[in-house]
């Protein structure tokens, strides 16, 4: 193994009476790609600050190779003291750096360099800090949530930029797709200590579940006592995260229904099915448009959203996603056209800016409004402690003030408030920002079980693939087109990435001349001989894989297996991982082919 260029060893640190890290370690070799994962509040950002040399640990050593350039992207950058963003980005670069790179990075991140720090939004400050971190082509990049406040084109550009750089990377991110694409090793921060997996994030969750399952077996055998709330929070994650095939089938059914609706009605012919769908219609928009000054934001858009739909809205920053969302829920009025919202709609919304939480309010009181210990969820009373447990809070945290929560924990608390409100239309604007992976799993599970309709604006590609029944894509120039399925389905139907095929012309307000809209044409498909064969044989393959996985779980549950045969244990673990991956692929392939067979049968 190559010598490390950055090394943390036996790191301990406390904040007040709280022990944050105990014996944590981090080793980064030249050009290595690591992701650092763990629950919100577990100390990931603290460990990264120690690695950057910004925080001194109580105990332990930090080594950085002399002469190596380290750049750290923090979650809340300080830009005070600089005349403009360009000065901030170029500060400390030294001689020999190409100023053209500064303009290139700022341009890719939607900035000019002339912006004044005092006038920046939180998202603009984060993008400026990202440009500053990338500008010197450092030897080591320490990035804390680099995709926050980036739109989809910028996220995909950043992936390409980081892939092409020779720098070593340590990444903290809630974006599963981002971590999967960039990481080659994983460091898991759990219970104040670190564990390392010499594989990328794609292999992490199965490995983590196996570790926790073995720990739970050992705990029962040793009759070791663990606090009940900690036991539930940690070991319950594995069970909740495992693929629920019933939920996956339900999502595929919703996508198939949405695909059929789009095929029959297109984007504008909404009147045909009005009678039979009246009882299930939640929102109907007909030819709505919106302009600000001479800039056309939404142009001649029509859709019908039914009860139970999960509609994702995606596109670059500034193209009008939130404007469209506000028109669909009646928060703002279109310039032309009309929006009808069902009379019985109750909306619960999580906005992009996040409602403020009073720092001194107790966490439990923030959910109950300060009145008693009962919170009403879906109209049913629940004890606040029980409800908080659903969101991975402990009873001790319920009695703590909001100010002691991490940024991710505050986001989780706000999410709990929104989901507790009575509603049948859930509106989420960037809900995944600052959420850890376990909370994302929990949110996906709750959205799958939510009986109403969901509208979500998100740049999280994996999240959209897991929850959306259709995606509204901002195509540029005020045009929005709906694609059945998730983010990956949208890409397949468009035949290209998220950027427009060519820069759209600068559009102004519509003229009175009639305009012909195009529809999404998805090429017709038939079941090939191989497809038919796969439909017949996949169920048997799935059964064989399920039996193999069950047998491997029994073998690995033997507490003496590892001590008796370490190589055999490693081989069985790898075999289990391969079998689980093959099972997931077989199940998804079967569902895809079965959906296609049903669609062809209806034609």
Overall pTM > 0.85? no
Domain 243-346+423-523 shares a fold with domain 525-603 = no
Which of 54-68, 294-308, 422-436 has the least mean pLDDT? 422-436
**319: Cβ contacts below 8 Å, ≥ 6 apart:** 297, 474, 476
Region 534-558 average pLDDT: 77
Instruction: Check residue 602 and give its pLDDT.
Output: 58
More confident residue, 408 or 141: 141
CATH for 4-207 is: 3.40.50.300
CB 490 within 8 A of CB 483: yes
Identify the burial level of 78 via C-beta atoms within 10 angstroms of its C-beta, where 0-12 means exposed, 13-18 middle and 19 or more buried: exposed
Instruction: Tell me what percent of the residues of the chain surpass a pLDDT of 70.
Output: 78
**Please, which pLDDT band fits residue 569 given cuts at 50, 70 and 90?**
confident
What's the rounded Cα separation, in Å, for the pair 238 and 255? 27
- The per-residue pLDDT for range 202-228, each reduced to its tens digit, is 888 888 888 887 877 766 655 544 444
More confident residue, 390 or 556: 390
CA 81 from chain center: how many Å? Answer: 34
User: With 60 as the cut, is the pLDDT of residue 506 above it?
Assistant: no
Instruction: Check residue 474 and give its pLDDT.
Output: 85
Region 553-569 average pLDDT: 71
Q: Where are the domains of the chain?
A: 4-207, 243-346+423-523, 360-416, 525-603
Q: To which H or E segment does residue 564 belong?
A: helix 561-564
User: With 50 as the cut, is the pLDDT of residue 396 above it?
Assistant: yes
Q: Which of 268-277, 286-295, 392-401 has the highest mean pLDDT?
A: 286-295
CB 311 within 8 A of CB 472: yes
Region 559-563 average pLDDT: 66
What's the rounded Cα separation, in Å, for the pair 430 and 350? 8
Residue for token pair 């994302």: 440
Instruction: Check residue 512 and give its pLDDT.
Output: 44
- The per-residue pLDDT for range 82-93, each reduced to its tens digit, is 889 888 888 867
- The per-residue pLDDT for range 301-352, each reduced to its tens digit, is 998 888 889 999 988 877 888 889 889 998 889 999 999 988 888 888 876 5
Instruction: Check residue 56 and give its pLDDT.
Output: 92
CATH for 243-346+423-523 is: 3.40.50.300
Q: Under CATH, domain 525-603 is a member of which superfamily?
A: Valyl-tRNA synthetase, C-terminal domain (1.10.287.380)
What is the chain's mean pLDDT, rounded? 79
Region 366-380 average pLDDT: 79
Helix axes 529-556, 204-222, angle to 10 degrees: 30
What's the rounded Cα separation, in Å, for the pair 560 and 518? 65
**Please, which pLDDT band fits residue 11 given cuts at 50, 70 and 90?**
very high
Instruction: Check residue 249 and give its pLDDT.
Output: 64
The token duo for 280 is 């299930």
Instruction: Check residue 321 and give its pLDDT.
Output: 86
Instruction: Check residue 563 and give its pLDDT.
Output: 67
CB atoms within 10 A of CB 3: 9
User: With 80 as the cut, is the pLDDT of residue 406 above it?
Assistant: no
What's the rounded Cα separation, in Å, for the pair 401 and 364? 9
**Please, which pLDDT band fits residue 557 given cuts at 50, 70 and 90?**
low
Instruction: Check residue 92 and give its pLDDT.
Output: 66
Residue for token pair 């990049």: 141
User: With 90 as the cut, is the pLDDT of residue 186 above it?
Assistant: yes
Region 389-413 average pLDDT: 79
What's the rounded Cα separation, in Å, for the pair 8 and 4? 10
């Amino acid at each position: 193994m190559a010598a490390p260029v950055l090394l943390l060893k036996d790191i301990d640190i406390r904040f007040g009476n709280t022990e944050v890290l105990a014996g944590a370690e981090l080793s980064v070799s030249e050009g290595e790609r690591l992701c650092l994962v763990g629950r919100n509040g577990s100390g990931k950002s603290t460990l990264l600050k120690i690695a950057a040399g910004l925080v001194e640990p109580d105990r332990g050593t930090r080594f950085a190779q002399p002469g190596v350039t380290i750049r750290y992207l923090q979650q809340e950058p300080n830009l005070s003291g600089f005349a403009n963003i360009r000065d901030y980005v170029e500060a400390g670069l030294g001689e020999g750096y190409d100023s053209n790179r500064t303009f290139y990075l700022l341009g890719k991140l939607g900035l000019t360099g002339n912006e004044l720090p005092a006038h920046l939004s939180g998202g603009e400050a984060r993008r400026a800090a990202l440009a500053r971190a990338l500008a010197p082509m450092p030897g080591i990049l320490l990035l804390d949530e680099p995709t926050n406040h980036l739109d989809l084109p910028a996220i995909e550009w950043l992936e390409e930029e980081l892939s092409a750089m020779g720098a070593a990377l340590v990444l903290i991110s809630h974006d599963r797709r981002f971590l999967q694409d960039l990481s080659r090793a994983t460091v898991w921060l759990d219970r104040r200590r670190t564990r390392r997996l010499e594989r990328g994030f794609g292999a992490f969750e199965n490995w983590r579940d196996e570790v926790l399952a073995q720990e739970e077996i050992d705990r029962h055998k040793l009759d070791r006592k663990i606090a009940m709330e900690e036991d539930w929070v940690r070991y319950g994650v594995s069970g909740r995260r495992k693929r629920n095939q019933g939920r996956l089938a339900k999502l595929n059914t919703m996508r198939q229904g949405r695909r059929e609706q789009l095929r029959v009605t297109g984007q504008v012919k909404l009147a045909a099915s009005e009678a039979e769908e009246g009882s299930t219609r939640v929102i109907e928009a007909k030819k709505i448009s919106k302009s600000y000054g001479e800039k056309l934001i939404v142009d001649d858009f029509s859709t019908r959203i039914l009860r139970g739909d999960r509609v994702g809205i995606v596109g670059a920053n500034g193209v009008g996603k939130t404007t469209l969302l506000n028109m669909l829920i009646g928060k703002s009025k279109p310039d032309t056209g009309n929006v009808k919202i069902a009379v019985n709609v109750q909306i619960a919304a999580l906005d992009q800016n996040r409602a403020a939480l009073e720092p001194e309010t107790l966490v439990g009181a923030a959910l109950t409004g300060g009145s008693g210990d009962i919170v009403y969820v879906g109209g049913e009373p629940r004890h606040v402690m029980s409800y908080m447990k659903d969101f991975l809070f402990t009873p001790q945290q319920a009695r703590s003030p909001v100010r002691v929560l991490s940024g991710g924990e505050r986001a989780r608390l706000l999410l709990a408030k929104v989901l507790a409100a009575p509603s049948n239309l859930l509106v989420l604007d960037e809900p995944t920002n600052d959420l850890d992976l376990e909370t994302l799993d929990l949110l996906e599970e709750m959205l799958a079980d939510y009986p109403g309709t969901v509208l979500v604006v998100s740049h999280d590609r994996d999240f959209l693939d897991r929850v959306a029944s259709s995606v509204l894509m901002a195509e540029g120039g005020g045009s929005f087109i709906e694609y059945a399925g998730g983010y990956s389905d949208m890409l397949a139907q468009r035949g290209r990435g998220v950027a427009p095929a060519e820069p759209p012309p600068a559009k102004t307000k519509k003229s009175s001349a009639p305009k012909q809209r195009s529809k999404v044409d998805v090429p017709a498909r038939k079941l090939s001989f191989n497809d038919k064969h796969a439909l017949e044989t996949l169920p048997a393959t799935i059964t064989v894989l399920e039996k193999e996985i069950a047998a491997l779980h029994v073998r690995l549950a033997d507490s003496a297996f590892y001590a008796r045969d370490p190589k055999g244990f490693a081989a069985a673990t790898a075999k289990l991982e391969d079998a689980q991956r093959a099972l997931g692929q077989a199940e998804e392939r079967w569902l895809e082919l079965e959906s296609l067979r049903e669609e062809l049968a209806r034609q």
